[in-house]
């Protein structure tokens, strides 16, 4: 019991950090590695799609923090990385992002939220 309170406080703080990040940045990608150097094929695919669409985004490397790696899974109630957030809303992981991109829905999600893309759907 002696350690229960500090651990709870730490969990709260990472949840608050994530909440603040996704609310204060239009597009956030929780990934393995960085946008410049992805460390996993799934994260690399999402980076490739976002770069192709041409939308600015903030990347968070979960490999740099186990607390963030587990915290984002709890925050989204989603078991894997990568995870994409747009305007504070969880969009999905690699499969969902890829399918939305192929259907033109990802680009529409950005433009409908007032986020400029360099590569709109024709």
Ligand X SMILES: N[C@@H](CCC(=O)N[C@@H](CS)C(=O)NCC(=O)O)C(=O)O
Q: Which positions touch ligand X (CB under 6 A)?
A: 32, 40, 42, 69, 80-82, 93-95
Least Cβ distance, residue 122 to ligand X (angstroms): 26
**83 strand-pairing partners:** 30
Structure tokens at 112: 């409908």
- Closest approach, Cβ 85 to ligand X, in A, equals 14
Of 51 and 95, which CB lies nearer to ligand X in the complex structure?
95
C-alpha span between 108 and 5 (Å, rounded):
44
- Give the residue carrying structure tokens 């600015």: 56
Q: Give the number of other CB atoms < 10 A from CB of residue 40.
A: 16
User: C-beta of 81: minimal distance to ligand X in Å?
Assistant: 4
As measured in angstroms, the least distance from the Cβ of 42 to ligand X is 4
Question: Which lies closer to ligand X via its Cβ, residue 6 or residue 79?
Answer: 79
Cβ closest to ligand X, residue 81 vs residue 86: 81
Nearest residue to ligand X, by Cβ distance, number only: 93
The candidate with the shortest Cα–Cα distance to 39, out of 48, 31, 49, 50, is 31
Of 61, 118, 55, 65, give the one whose Cα is nearest residue 87: 55
């Amino acid at each position: 019991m002696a350690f229960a309170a500090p651990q709870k406080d730490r969990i709260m703080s990472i949840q608050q950090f994530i909440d603040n990040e996704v609310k204060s940045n239009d597009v956030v990608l929780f990934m393995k590695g960085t946008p410049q150097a992805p460390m996993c094929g799934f994260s690399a695919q999402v980076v490739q799609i976002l770069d192709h669409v041409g939308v600015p985004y903030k990347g968070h490397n979960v490999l740099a923090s186990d607390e963030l790696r587990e915290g984002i899974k709890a925050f989204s109630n989603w078991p894997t990385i990568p995870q994409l957030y747009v305007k504070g809303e969880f969009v999905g992981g690699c499969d969902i992002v890829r399918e939305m991109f192929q259907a033109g829905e990802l680009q529409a999600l950005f433009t409908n939220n007032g986020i400029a893309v360099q590569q709109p759907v024709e």
